[in-house]
Chain A
């Protein structure tokens, strides 16, 4: 079962969308991401709820202070591989801030199949396939990264991580959140970092001292 995250500052239709999706695809579950104040809150909830693909409302300024496209930009900075789709009540071509590709924008109307209208059903079915595929891609990418994470973890234990520290932390955050790797004790992540910083400072001092003697 893949989890489709849904973010909307007025999620009045969430239950209808959820039913509609479930009725047509047993492998997808719509999950509401709410009770958030900031973009970081939302990101944390995405990890927490192990979301595989995201549907995000466009116009959210009123309750959040930012729009859906800005949020996607923020999410993808931390989670490069998760696919996000904009859902809007207005025409998709009216969103022209250039932050999201046209193919990733959908009208909320897609859930209205007009009592089994064939064309509308086909459109919704195509959309569900896109969601399913995007969720699968994200899962496969995560799995591929487990190996890289283990490699970096080994380096870290040997104290040789260096410039790969950032990549390691990002992978750790995603993979551990989704339960794909074991959680590390928090102090392990912190102490290692401090030790390394201390070593660099000492090294720097030695170089300066040698330079002065010359």
Chain B
């Protein structure tokens, strides 16, 4: 039996209320977003955020409509109650974006103490709160904020006169801070507002609003040292692009306008239009006219529009293309482009001019929320490909999609992170993908025509195409013959016999010409590659030789320095001119040594040595061997060199030099190997004589011979990265392991061979017999 009926009110613990707010605004970026959004919703044209480094305080001021006491009491002070929930069009016609009534907790996220002045048409109110009052075990109704009437102006409240950043303060003062608006002073900040925080927030603010909003709403964000030009936030924008795709979804219609800005035919314009087959309408698109298309929902495979009206702008922006494609597709010059996706983001959603995070946010999982990369992986075809669709990459396309709170089925997710998944969001994605595929179709339409034109220009490719077509036709003909059917009328192939009873076949002369042409082209390409390869081998040899002489080069450099320093000291301290002169003369002598080394290294890559011609070997090597003799002489090594006078060889000069240089480098390394006794003599012998149509080189040295590792199988030294050098007493091999490999490569290019078998028996010394001959001779 019930007695004494009464009602007990629910209440909320103050701390819990604060937690709810914090859950919703957990990041500093989010807090700033709420503050700017409130200013926008209040019809402000300026929102200014200033961090004073000297005071460690934040000033925020906007010139919106302010709040009346009634609003302050019933909405601002009532958690979860938003004045924008039911009526969301501002006096000036803006669609207000807030609705949850928790935006004010953004202030709690930023600081402990908050002092607000809000001036409405009814006058000014000062509101003071310390968020720490919500701590402890108080009930929400026990927490009080103080409100005063005041006649202070907005700019007085923020103390603009004493701002350290005078330049920006001057600009702010010029803004239209008239009668109404709201200003905050925030103290006891929770974050360290250093330059990196400022930069992070600035980038966030740049992406907060779409570019076209800044005309009637601007944001200033700065600290004591920010320059004026950096203080005014300009929305991240796309200034250069290859394609611009605008679209509007209105009721049952999807309108798309595609603008090409990617191609530049330069002087070939007329020729390309004619040969590639672009009609007048197409030509106009290349000159800036928009290609407009319109589709009904049914035509794009949608039953009905679940969302309502929306639109957007997308940009195709490539940052790389290989040279061949640049030429083939007549791309406009796009050098110097940076990855805009990093700064601008990908495809971003704006709801009533405010960013809906995290879509398109670079680095976030939802950057590629349309899953363009996976789509491209499924269809990786190139632009000019006849079969297969070209698909845009996720980092190549960026832009904005504008939705509104008026749209249905596109509600914010409860955690304020994105849009609720459901039929609306799925449809939004499908429509966007349709718009994107329209652009892709247009671009590939152009690409295919240009690729065909490029192929046509390439005669050989055209011939090949003709043969391919003939082969196809022949296959069809044979199949028909086998099935006993009468041949159907097939597509006419050029040169195909007109009599339908004859099998399609190629003209033998055409085939011969084609094969010859291809062989020639292949030979040219091979020659080019071979030359490149030779250049690299020579550069490698130069490196090996330089490394070989590093000790000598360093010694000479040191000695020049020491002689000059000694000359200086002799003059400065002893006034001994005679001694100083001797120093200088010795330095000059050392300097001369360099010339010989340069003769072997730098000279080896001279241009004329890279031309293949018929050489008299003795004449060709005369200067080169003299230079080696000089160098070897300095390291107490004798060179015994002989060459038959009548050897003629069709060769590159640096090929023969590379062989000799690498052999000598190995000998010198062997001479310098530390053993249990002194090497009796340092001698290199090279005899070159005529052998068949080519030549034979007999090479030997008096060094310590191959190390035990190679003694049994000397041919191993011809493998790449095999090295037995012990320069400078290092424990590990420090030869490059490339020298003998280069020798072997060069020999095989001349259809020659190398015999190292004598090294198996010889106790000391290194022996090689090299034969060069064959088709290159």
Contacts and interface: CB of A to CB of B under 8 A. Distances in A.
A20 B569 contact: yes
B729 A95 contact: yes
B728 A111 contact: no
The DSSP consensus for interface residues of chain B is helix
A98 B731 contact: yes
A146 B728 CA distance: 40
Contact of B558 (A58, A70, A95, A109): A109
Most A Cβ at <10 Å: residue of B558, B635, B675, B731:
B558
Interface stretch (A43-51, A112-120, A186-194, A203-211): A112-120
B477 to A, nearest CB: 74
Interface in A54-73: 58-59, 61-67, 69-70
Interface stretch (B89-97, B320-328, B377-385, B559-567): B559-567
Interface residues of A, number: 34
Contacts of B572: 115-116
B562 A108 contact: yes
B1 to A, nearest CB: 99
Interface in A156-188: none
A70 B674 contact: yes
A26 interface: no
B729 A16 contact: no
Contacts of B551: 59, 89-90
A97 B677 CA distance: 18
Contacts of A70: 674
Contact of B563 (A16, A89, A96): A16
A16 B731 contact: no
B673 interface: yes
B678 interface: yes
Most A Cβ at <10 Å: residue of B559, B572, B583:
B559
Contacts of B215: none
A144 interface: no
Interface string B546-566: 000011001100110111011
B573 interface: yes
Interface in A62-94: 62-67, 69-70, 89-90, 94
Contacts, number: 90
Contacts of A12: 559, 586
Interface in B656-702: 671-675, 677-679, 682
Contact of B731 (A19, A96, A108): A96
A62 B729 contact: no
B684 to A, nearest CB: 15
A58 B555 CA distance: 12
A23 interface: yes
B730 A97 contact: yes
Contacts of A116: 568, 572
A61 B554 contact: no
Interface residues of B, number: 34
B550 A111 contact: no
B730 A96 contact: yes
Interface in B722-768: 728-732
Contacts of A59: 551, 672, 728
B636 interface: yes
A106 B572 CA distance: 26
Interface in B607-663: 635-636
A6 to B, nearest CB: 14
A65 B635 CA distance: 14
Contacts of B728: 58-59, 90, 94-96
A62 B563 contact: no
Most A Cβ at <10 Å: residue of B551, B561, B563, B674:
B674
B569 A90 contact: no
B569 A111 contact: no
Given A96-B729, A112-B561, A16 B583 contact: yes
A62 B569 contact: no
A62 to B, nearest CB: 6
A89 B728 CA distance: 11
A16 B562 contact: yes
A76 B757 CA distance: 43
A115 B564 CA distance: 8
Given A13-B559, A16-B566, A23 B573 contact: yes
Contacts of B671: 61-62
Contacts of B583: 16
Contacts of A16: 562-563, 565-566, 583
A119 B340 CA distance: 48
Nearest to B562: A112
Contact of A111 (B562, B675, B730): B562
A116 B671 CA distance: 39
B729 A69 contact: yes
Contacts of B729: 58, 67, 69, 95-97
A184 to B, nearest CB: 34
Nearest to B557: A89
A86 to B, nearest CB: 11
A114 B728 CA distance: 27
Given A62-B635, A67-B729, A89 B566 contact: no
Contacts of B674: 61, 65-67, 70
Contacts of A111: 562, 565
Nearest to B556: A89
B550 A112 contact: no
Contact of A94 (B635, B673, B730): B730
A160 to B, nearest CB: 40
A97 B731 CA distance: 6
Given A16-B563, A20-B569, A115-B568, A89 B730 contact: no
A65 B636 CA distance: 13
B554 A62 contact: no
Interface in A13-50: 13, 16-17, 19-20, 23
Given A62-B672, A95-B730, 10 more contacts: A17-B562, A58-B728, A58-B729, A59-B551, A62-B671, A96-B728, A96-B729, A109-B558, A114-B561, A114-B565
Q: Which 10 pairs show the lowest CB-CB distances between chains A and B? A: A65-B678, A89-B555, A16-B566, A112-B561, A97-B729, A115-B568, A89-B554, A112-B565, A112-B562, A96-B730
27 contacts: A13-B563, A16-B563, A19-B569, A19-B570, A20-B569, A61-B671, A61-B672, A61-B673, A61-B674, A62-B635, A62-B671, A65-B674, A66-B674, A67-B729, A70-B674, A90-B550, A90-B728, A95-B728, A95-B730, A96-B730, A108-B562, A109-B558, A109-B562, A112-B558, A113-B569, A115-B572, A116-B572
